[in-house]
Amino acid sequence: MTPPAEPAQPDQPVQPAQYRRVHRLSPVLQVWTTLLALLAILIFNFAAPLWRWLGDESYSARQLLWPIAAVVVALVVVVGVSQLWWSKTGFRVGAEELEHKRGVLTTQVRTARYDRIQAVDIVEPLAPRLFGLAAVRIEVAGGVNAAVNIAYLPREEAEELRGEILARIATKGPSAPMAEEAAEELTSGEHASSSAGPPRKNYLVPPIPIGRSMVATVFQLSTIATVAASLVPLLTDLTLAAIVPILVGFVPLIWRTIDQSWRFNASFDGDVFKLRYGLANRRRQAVPHERIHAVQLKQPLLWRPFGWWTVSITSAGFGAEASAATGTAKLLPVGTYEEAVAVVGAVGPLSADALTDLSRADYASPRRARWVSPLDWKRQTATVRDGVALTSFGRLTRRYQMVKAPHIQELSFEQGPLERKLGLASVRFDLVPGLVKMTARDLDDADARALLEALRARRLPPIRPSESPHLRG
C-alpha cells in the first residue's frame, strides 16, 4: 500500500539579510573638519592664557587636574556619541534593493532599488584614506539628493560591496540603467581595483598631467582675484578681515579645480562615461550617456595661449556642482582642443566643429546690441539644427553650448527696458539644474520671437512616473 503523501509545506519566507556595520571611525571621520575647527578655536582662544598661567607657576597640582579632566571628559563624550551613532548605522544588500539605516533619535532608512541605480562610485576623502577607508556612493534616479552614501568601509570591503551591488544590478536585465555596464565590468574584473585605470586604448581623455592642472589653476580668474585680494592688506591700511569674504568665496573654487582635475582620466564604452580623478578625494564616477542633457565647450581667456578647453555637462539627477560629494560635472576639466573635440563628439549629438561654427548660425546679435553687450555682441548666436539648440557667447571667455530640444524644460522671453528701446530680446532655456546655463542673448526682437516659436514646436518626451527612491523613517 502506498503511504499517503505528506501535505505540502508552505514556502518558507526568505529571511532578510542582516545589517552590516560601517567602520567604527566613520562617525568621527564624517565630522572631522568640524572637530578640527573647534580644536583650532580652543587653541586660538585659550592657548595664550594657559601658557601664561603655567609660566607663573602659581598653580597647584589640583588646579592642573581641571584642564586635564576637561580634555578627558570631552574625549569621552566624543567617543561615546560616535559609538552610539555607529551602533545605529548599518546597511544591507537585499534581493531587490539596498538599504541604509542611520539615526539615533530618529531612525531613517533609505533604499536604492537596483533597477533605479545610475552609478556606483568609490570615494576616498583625504582623512579616511589615511586609515585605509573609502565610501561607496550609489546614485539613484530621482534627483540631486537621491544618492545613498555608505561611509566608511575598509578599502577592500568597499570594493567588494561595489562588486556585490554591480552583480545585483546585472541580474535586472536590460531595463536597468546600469545592467549592461555592470555585467561588462564584472566580466572584465574592473571593479577589483580602482587604482588601475582602464586600458590605455579605451582612454577618451588620457590622464591629465599634474603640471597642466596646476598651471590651469593658476591662470583662472578666481586664483588671480584671490592673490590680488591677499595683497591688499600689504599695500593698504585694510586688515586681513577685509578680504575674508573673498577668500571664503574663491579658495574652495581653487581647491576644487585642483582636486577634480588631479590625474583625471575618462573612458567611454558607448553607454557610460567612466571618470577617475582626485587628490584629496579620490573618486571613480560613472555618468550614463542617456542622462546627459546639455554640453558646454568653454575656453577661459587666460587659457587661450595654451590652447586649453574644458567640457562641462548638465546631467539629469546630478544638479549643480556644489561639493565634492556630488562628483564633477566636467568630462574634461582642462585639455587640448583635440581632447575637447573627442569628448564633445562622444557626447553628441553634434560635433565640436559644428558647435563652434558661428558662420552657420540661424540668429545673431545685430550691431545695435553693442550698446548692451559691447565686448561679445559679435559672438552671440543661436541655432536650431537637427532637433538641437545651439548658443554661443563670450569674447573673453568663449562658450559654446548645445542641448537636444526635447530636453528644454521651459522657454522664457526676456526683454529689459534698454533691450526694448533697442528692439532686442533674449530667450532663456530652462534646463534641469546643472553647470550649463543657456540663453540666446540680445537677438533682434523678431529673431527672438522666431527662435521661441521654432523651439515651442519641439517634440517633448512622454511624462514618466516619479522615480524618487523610497524614503522611510
CB 35 within 8 A of CB 102: no
pLDDT of residue 326: 64
pLDDT of residue 386: 87
Q: Which CATH class is domain 349-456?
A: mainly beta
- HSE, side-chain direction, 13 A CA sphere, residue 364: 12
pLDDT of residue 473: 31
- Domain ranges, ordered by start, for the chain: 16-192, 349-456
Please report, in tens digits, the pLDDT of each residue of the chain (473 residues total): 445 545 545 555 545 668 888 988 888 887 766 766 667 666 666 666 666 666 666 666 666 677 777 777 877 887 888 888 888 888 999 888 898 988 878 888 888 888 888 778 888 887 888 888 989 988 776 555 667 889 889 989 998 998 888 888 877 655 555 666 666 666 655 554 444 444 445 789 999 999 999 999 999 888 888 888 778 777 777 766 667 777 777 777 788 888 889 999 999 987 889 899 988 778 888 888 888 999 999 999 999 999 999 999 998 766 555 444 567 889 999 999 999 999 999 998 999 999 999 999 999 999 999 999 999 999 999 999 989 999 999 999 999 999 999 999 999 999 999 999 999 999 999 998 888 999 999 999 999 999 999 999 887 666 554 444 333 33
Q: Is 148 exposed, middle or buried (0-12, 13-18, 19+ CB in 10 A)?
A: buried
